Structure 1
Amino acid sequence: MVDRQWGVPTLLGLRIPLISLIQTLAVAEYLNFRHAAKALGVSQSSVSARVKALEEDLGVLLFERHARGVRLTEAGRNFVERIGSGVDQIDHAVKTAGMVAQGECGRLRIGIHALIPRSFLAELIERYREDHPGIDVEMMEGTARDALMKLRANQLDIVFVAGTPELPDCHSRRIWTEPLVAALPDRHRLAGQTAVTWADLAGETFLVRHGGTGPQVYDHIVLRLAGRWPAPSILRFGVERCTLLSMVGQGFGTTIVAAASSLLPTPGVVFLPIADEPEPVAFSAVWSPYNRCAMLRNLLTLAGEMGRPCDSAQRALQK
Structure 2
Amino acid sequence: MVSLIQTLAVAEYLNFRRAAVALGVSVSSVSTRVKTLEEDLGILLFERHARGVRLTEAGRRFVKHVSAGVDQLDHAVKTAAMAAAGECGRLRIGIHALIPRSFLAELIGQYREACPGIEVEITESTARDALMQLRSDRLDLAFIAGPAELPDFHSRRIWTEPLVVVLPERHPLAGHSAVTWPDLAGETFLVRHGSTGPQVHDHIILRLAGRLPPPSIQRFDVGRGTLLFMVEQGFGITIVGAASALLPTTGIVFLPFADEPEPVPFSAIWSPFNQSPTIRNMLVLASKLGCICDSNSGDIQHRRRERPQ
Q: TM-score, normalized by length of structure 2?
A: 0.89
Structure 1 residue 166 corresponds to structure 2 residue 149: yes
Q: Residue 273 of structure 1: CA displacement?
A: 0.8
SS of residue matched to 1:20: helix
Q: Residue 271 of structure 1: CA displacement?
A: 0.3
Q: How many residues align?
A: 302
Q: Residue 237 of structure 1: CA displacement?
A: 2.0
Give the gaps of 5 or more residues in structure 2.
305-309
Segments ≥4 residues shifted beyond 6 Å: none
Give the gaps of 5 or more residues in structure 1.
1-17
Q: How does 1:193-204 map to 2 (within 5 A)?
A: 193-204=176-187
Q: How does 1:245-284 map to 2 (within 5 A)?
A: 245-284=228-267
CA distance in 2, matches of 1:74, 1:121: 61
The one-letter code sitting in structure 1 at the alignment partner of 2:101 is: R
Number of the residue aligned with 1:121: 104
Match of 2:47 among 53, 64, 75: 64
CA distance in 2, matches of 1:203, 1:295: 47
Q: Residue 255 of structure 1: CA displacement?
A: 0.8
Q: How does 1:285-296 map to 2 (within 5 A)?
A: 285-296=268-279
In structure 2, the CA distance between the partners of 1:313 and 1:240, relative to structure 1 (3 Å rule), is farther
In structure 2, the CA distance between the partners of 1:178 and 1:70, relative to structure 1 (3 Å rule), is same
Give the superposed CA RMSD.
2.2
Structure 1 residue 148 corresponds to structure 2 residue 131: yes
Number of the residue aligned with 2:80: 97
Match of 1:187 among 141, 155, 170: 170
In structure 2, the CA distance between the partners of 1:266 and 1:77, relative to structure 1 (3 Å rule), is same
CA distance in 2, matches of 1:81, 1:117: 53
CA distance in 2, matches of 1:83, 1:299: 39
The one-letter code sitting in structure 2 at the alignment partner of 1:239 is: V
Q: How does 1:39-50 map to 2 (within 5 A)?
A: 39-50=22-33
Between 1:136-145 and 1:122-131, the stretch displaced more is: 122-131
CA distance in 2, matches of 1:91, 1:282: 45
CA distance in 1, matches of 2:3, 2:98: 53
Identity within the alignment, %: 72
Match of 2:284 among 301, 307, 310: 301
Number of the residue aligned with 2:307: none
SS of residue matched to 2:239: strand
Structure 1 residue 176 corresponds to structure 2 residue 159: yes
Q: TM-score, normalized by length of structure 1?
A: 0.86
Structure 1 residue 214 corresponds to structure 2 residue 192: no
Between 1:43-52 and 1:90-99, the stretch displaced more is: 90-99
Q: Residue 149 of structure 1: CA displacement?
A: 1.4
In structure 2, the CA distance between the partners of 1:117 and 1:317, relative to structure 1 (3 Å rule), is farther
Q: Residue 167 of structure 1: CA displacement?
A: 1.1
The one-letter code sitting in structure 2 at the alignment partner of 1:119 is: S
Q: Residue 144 of structure 1: CA displacement?
A: 0.9
The one-letter code sitting in structure 2 at the alignment partner of 1:262 is: A
Q: Residue 308 of structure 1: CA displacement?
A: 6.0
Number of the residue aligned with 1:84: 67
Q: Is the 8 A contact 1:259 1:314 kept in 2?
A: no
Q: How does 1:4-83 map to 2 (within 5 A)?
A: 18-83=1-66
SS of residue matched to 2:262: coil
The one-letter code sitting in structure 2 at the alignment partner of 1:243 is: T
The one-letter code sitting in structure 2 at the alignment partner of 1:47 is: V
CA distance in 1, matches of 2:238, 2:95: 20
Number of the residue aligned with 1:4: none
Q: Residue 184 of structure 1: CA displacement?
A: 1.2
Q: Residue 178 of structure 1: CA displacement?
A: 0.9
Q: Residue 205 of structure 1: CA displacement?
A: 2.0
Q: Is the 8 A contact 2:256 2:301 kept in 1?
A: no
